[in-house]
Each structure stands twice: as structure tokens, then as C-alpha cells.
A and B are shown apart, each in its own frame.
Chain A
Amino acid sequence: MTETEIRQAIADSLRGIAPEADLAAIPPTSNMREALDIDSFDFLNLLIGLHTRLGVEIPEADYGKLTTLAEMIEYLKAK
């Protein structure tokens, strides 16, 4: 899948979690949870949203590889 598709899926997943979030304004190497001010519950919801939209399995052991926006995009591109 392309980076554009992944960005769209992230933006769509965030709509119900942090509606005011502007993906373009999130520094790619910043901690996503801190930048978006979301808790572990909403982070799990974000990952569930990505799983649903992109059909990607994200094992719990991989959560640490999805800390920043750049990491998240790279991880999903490789899937």
C-alpha cells in the first residue's frame, strides 16, 4: 500500500479519537501519543482502526515499533 493510503487510513482512524488532529502538523519523529494527547485506550483504538481499514495484523509485541508517525508509516508500508 502507498504512503498516501496509509496517511488517509491514519487520518480516518483519528477522526473519532482526536477530531481536531491535523496529521500534517504532527512532527514525523515525535511520539504520536504525546503529540496527539491520547491515552493507551485511544492508541489501541487507533491501531484497531488501522487494522480494520488496512487489513493489517499488528501484534502487541510490535506496538513499540509504532511510536512515531514516521515509524507507523514505515511499519505499515512493510506489511
Chain B
Amino acid sequence: MDYAFVYDPALSQYELSDSHPFKPVRLELTKSLLTATGLLEDKHTVQPYPINETQLLRIHQKDYVDAVKAVSKNANFEDAYSYGLGTSDNPIFPNMHEAIMRVCSATTTAVHLVASGKAQRAVNLSGGLHHAHADKASGFCVYNDLAVAIDHAVKKFKLRVAYVDIDAHHGDGVQWLFYDRNDVVTISLHESGRYLFPGTGHTYEIGKDAGRGYSVNMPLEPFSEDVSYLEAFEAVVPLALRKFKPDLIVLQAGADMHRYDPLADLALSVQGMSKSYQRMSELADELCDGRLVATGGGGYDPFRTVPRAWGQLWAAVTRQELPKDIPAAWRKQWERQSPVELPETFADDVTLWKAIPRHNEIESHNRAVVKRLVNTLGSTWGDQ
């Protein structure tokens, strides 16, 4: 099998609440879109195999896991708040422990398939819960499926893993979990923490102790657009990946850097996002025999944007090309549920978008940050 699409309808049970912006319906929307285009076939689909709790406890503290289990059964658990549970971001829902274990299993399955050589590439769109900490839920994320899966690749297969996070938000949970390690590099491109949650991800966060030089952060100005984003991507991501020489790349492909996303402030188009997926595919070919695992993540415009973006992600990962138009049958299937009009093409017509004020300042600011970051990395790596 060349390409695996890890999927189980039960993965949609990671639904925080009815009114919550994190919408698992994104999975069904993307899967049906890809099936309609012919790019996703039954032969690609793999059921996740369950992980055990020992694997989870290599990343999360036992008292925290116990707390999640307790609230899963009884929402009146007293200490919930100190674990970040029962907040507006991370409301408690029945059987949440089981639901998130399933997501961790799915991402670990994707990594296992690629690390063991059973597949060259694998995708788990339900994964990407990059804000979860060792002892705390944060930003819609309860367990860190990415860290559990990366740890599996390192421990079981002795692989060097490069984690690339292109979600609009800083990949803080994964960064802190591997901050002092040199067998995993974390690279995150995101809207600056000065403006956006979680507030971290500055250029000077470069790792500590043995991990010094193994955390890379490229914060971007709010309202950055395709050209400036891709310029920063190209200046930072290949440089850090070539320096690290990974055996496996794990890509967190949150789809919230799009102009329509209601939570973040970046202003990319689907075709701009697609270019970054293409580049990740090429870099995996260049550096690690194509081995690539991609997950979902953020993305809060579930009908209009996320399926198109993740459609492009699957196309890039599987080296296929999407048609120009969205299949009419898919639009018909979903139009009644969608609160907005569904687009007719995969690409956005950016000529319809209003110009971003301060466009030039944003571009030159991003360029200055890239320069500062590249200098910092150069001198850090030079010391070693």
C-alpha cells in the first residue's frame, strides 16, 4: 500500500459540544468530497488500531489522565478546572477519554504504517490536537495525539522525526513535550503569539539543553497572505529540515490560516495552502524517501474551506491532481446543511477579495522576522 487514509466513523465522536467551533463534521465533508473526485478509494482506508494506556502515559501525567477519565464518567469532578477541563474551550462530554484515545490511536496508526514500511504515506484528518500539554487540556485539545504518535516512532522504530506545524496557531503542546530533546525537531509557522492564542512561538524559543536548536518558530503578522506566507515557509522549513535530516516527517496541517477562518487572522487562499502541502511532499521525497504522515488540526470554516484545503492535502500527499471544479453531487449532498454557499471550484477567486490594508508593512515585517530567525538558528547551530 502506498497511501493510507486512517478513518473510522467513530472518530467524529470527538465533538466537544453542539455549539463548539471544533466541528468533526469536517471529516465526513472531506471524505465525501475526495470520494466524489475519485482521489480516495476504499483501498486507501485503514481502520485505526487501538493503542494502550502505557503509550499515552509516556506523554501525559497519570493524575491528568485519571482526571479526564473521571470527568468522562461524572461531570462534577472537583479539580477539573485545574486540568483545563470544563472551560469554554474544553467542555466536558460523556466518554471523552474514549473519544480522544481513538484519535490518539488513529494518529499512531498512521505513524506506525509509515514507520514500519507498510505504507509510504498516511493521513489522519481527525488528529492534530497540538495544544494538549502533559498535564492540561488546552485550546480544544485534551490528549496530544501527535506527541503520542511521534514518541511511538522514536521509541519503537528509533526514527528521527521532524514535526512541521502549519496550523495558524503555534504548536505549543508538541513543542514543550519535546523541548529538551534532539531526536525530534519541531518547526511551527503560525500567526504571531502577540495577537493569537496560545501566545507563544517566538523566534527565541529554540529548545533547551540537548534540544537547543531543535525548536524552530516562525511567527507571522496577522493578515499575512499567500506570497508572504510562502516566502517565509520557503526560507525556514527546508533549511531546518535539511539541517535535521529526518527519517520521517509528521505534518500538522490545520486549515485555519485561510482568509475565511473565523478564529485566526491569517489571509491565505486554498491555492496558497496547497502550495505548502506540495512543498512538504517534495521535501519528504528529498529527505526521507517520501515518508510523510499528515494530520488535520484547526480549521473552523468547516463547509466552505476545510474540505477543499484537506482535499488538496490528500492530493499532494498521494501525488494526484484534483479537478478544477467541486463535484456538483457533493455540493448537492451538503448544501442544505451548510450555513454558507458552497464554492464551485477548489481554488479561491482571490480577485473578489478586498485588498488587505498594510499589505506592504506586513510583508516587510515578515521578511525581517525571517531574517532574525535564520540568524538565530545559524548561530545556535554554529555553536554545536
Tell me, yes or no, whether A binds B: no
**Residues on A close to B: CB < 8 A?**
none
